[in-house]
C-alpha cells in the first residue's frame, strides 16, 4: 500500500527520486518496493554512492571475480560494474518510464568527475556511457562547470538525455538552461527527434545553507544570525523563477511545438545537515509541480513518517527570496565567493569519492586473483 504522505507529494506534481543505488537494492527487490510503496519514480547516483555500495557487502563479488579473471583494469571494472547496476535499474523503472511518457523512470550515471574541466573528454564519455547503458531512460550526469556548459549542449545535440549536476547559483542555472535549449536547437538541425530528449538541472540545496550559515555565525551579529537556514530554500526559489522565465517566450515555443521538454529543476542535496532544522524542510518548502526532489533514504523515510505536502510553496516567492539574498549581502556574506567555493568543493568531493571507488575496486580485484 502506497505511503499517503509521499503519494500526496507526488500528486502535487513533485517527482520523488531516490538518491542512492546499489546491487543489493536491485537483487533484494528493495527498489521495486520503493516504487510500489513509496512513490519513487527515479534514481540518482554519483561516485560517492557507488563507492559506498561497493565497499559494503558481497553483492559485487561474483562480477569482481569474473573481471579479475579477464585481467580487467580498475577503470574498466568500474565502468562495467556501474553500467550493469544502472542498466538493471533502468529496466526496473521501464514501466514508470513508459507510463509517464519518458518524464520519469529515469536513472542517472555520472561522467568521471576528473573530467569536470575538460569539455571534449566529457562529451566523449557522455556519448560512450549513453551507448554502453543502451537504455532510453538513462540520464548522463554532466557537471555545470564552465567547461561543462558546452559539453551539455553537444551531448544534447547528439540526442543524449542529461542530468546537469553541481548547480549552486541561479545565474549558473540560467546558463545551464541556455546550454540545454541550444542543444535542442542543434539536435533539430541534426535531425534528432527532440521529443525523446529529456533533462533535469540538479540544484543543490543543503550545501548552500551549510556554507552560508558558517559565515553568518562568524559574522555573529543579531541580523546575521537571524538569516541562518534561509538561504538554501530562497536560492532554490530564485532558481525556479529563472526556470519559469527560461521556458517561456517565442524561442521556447518553437521547440515546445516540436514536443520539446523543459529542463525540470531537480532539488538535490536535500538531506538536512543541521539537526536544529526540520528534517523534511528541503522537501516540503520546495514542493511545486514539474520539479524533482531526489532524496537520500533517511529523508525519504522522514517525509513518509511526518512530512507534509501543503501545496505549492514556490511559485510567486521570488521577491521574498531575493530579499533574503539582499539581506545576506547587507550583513557581509560574499555570495560570489560562496558559489565558487561550493562548485570547487563539489567537484573535489566527487573526485575524492572516485579515488575511493578506484581503491575499493583495486583491492577487490587483487583479492579475487
Q: Which of 206, 199, 146 shows the shortest CA–CA distance to 171? A: 146
| Residue keyed to cell 580487467 | 72
DSSP assigned state of 249: S
Supply angle C-alpha 108, 103, 351, rounded to 5: 15
Taking the C-alpha atoms of residue 333 and residue 327, their distance in angstroms, rounded to an integer, is: 9
Pairing of strands 40-43, 106-110: parallel
- 32, 121, 141, 214: the catalytic one is 141
Supply angle C-alpha 336, 342, 345, rounded to 5: 140
Contact partners, residue 257, CB within 8 Å, separation at least 6 = none
Q: Is 131 a catalytic residue?
A: no
Taking the C-alpha atoms of residue 107 and residue 140, their distance in angstroms, rounded to an integer, is: 8
Taking the C-alpha atoms of residue 347 and residue 353, their distance in angstroms, rounded to an integer, is: 10
Give the DSSP letter string of 273-339: --TTS-TTHHHHTT--TTEEEEE-HHHHHHHHHH----S-SSTT-HHHHHHHHHHHHHTT--HHHHH
Catalytic residues: 141
Amino acid at each position: 500500500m502506497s505511503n499517503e504522505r509521499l503519494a500526496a507529494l507526488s500528486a502535487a506534481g513533485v517527482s520523488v527520486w531516490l538518491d542512492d543505488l546499489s546491487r543489493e537494492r536491485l537483487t533484494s527487490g528493495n527498489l521495486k518496493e520503493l516504487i510500489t510503496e513509496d512513490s519513487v519514480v527515479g534514481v540518482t547516483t554519483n561516485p560517492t554512492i557507488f563507492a559506498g555500495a561497493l565497499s559494503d557487502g558481497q553483492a559485487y563479488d561474483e562480477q569482481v571475480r569474473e573481471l579479475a579473471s579477464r585481467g580487467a583494469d580498475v577503470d574498466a571494472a568500474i565502468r562495467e560494474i556501474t553500467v550493469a547496476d544502472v542498466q538493471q535499474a533502468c529496466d526496473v523503472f521501464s514501466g514508470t518510464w513508459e507510463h509517464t511518457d519518458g518524464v520519469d523512470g529515469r536513472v542517472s550515471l555520472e561522467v568521471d568527475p576528473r573530467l569536470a574541466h575538460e569539455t571534449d573528454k566529457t562529451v566523449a564519455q557522455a556519448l560512450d556511457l549513453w551507448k554502453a547503458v543502451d537504455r532510453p531512460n538513462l540520464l548522463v550526469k554532466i557537471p555545470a562547470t564552465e567547461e561543462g556548459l558546452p559539453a551539455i549542449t553537444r551531448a544534447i545535440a547528439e540526442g543524449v538525455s542529461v542530468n546537469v549536476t553541481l548547480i549552486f547559483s541561479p545565474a549558473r542555472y540560467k546558463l545551464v538552461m541556455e546550454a540545454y535549449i541550444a542543444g535542442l536547437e542543434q539536435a533539430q538541425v541534426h535531425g534528432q527527434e527532440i521529443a525523446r530528449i529529456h533533462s533535469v538541472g540538479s540544484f543543490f540545496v543543503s550545501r548552500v545553507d551549510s556554507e552560508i550559515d558558517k559565515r553568518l555565525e562568524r559574522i555573529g551579529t543579531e541580523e546575521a544570525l537571524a538569516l541562518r537556514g534561509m538561504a538554501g530554500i530562497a536560492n532554490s526559489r530564485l532558481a525556479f523563477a529563472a526556470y519559469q522565465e527560461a521556458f517561456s517566450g517565442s524561442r521556447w515555443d518553437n521547440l515546445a511545438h516540436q514536443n520539446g521538454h523543459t529542463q525540470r529543476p531537480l532539488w538535490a542535496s536535500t538531506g538536512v545537515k543541521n539537526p536544529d532544522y526540520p528534517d523534511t524542510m528541503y522537501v516540503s518548502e520546495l514542493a511545486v509541480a514539474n520539479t524533482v526532489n531526489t532524496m537520500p533514504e533517511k529523508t525519504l523515510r522522514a517525509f513518509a513518517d511526518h512530512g507534509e505536502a501543503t501545496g505549492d510553496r514556490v511559485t510567486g516567492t521570488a521577491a521574498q527570496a531575493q530579499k533574503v539574498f539582499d539581506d545576506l549581502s547587507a550583513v557581509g556574506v560574499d555570495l560570489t565567493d560562496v558559489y565558487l567555493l561550493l562548485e570547487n568543493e563539489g567537484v573535489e568531493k566527487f573526485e575524492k569519492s572516485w579515488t575511493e571507488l578506484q581503491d575499493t575496486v583495486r583491492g577487490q580485484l587483487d583479492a579475487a586473483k
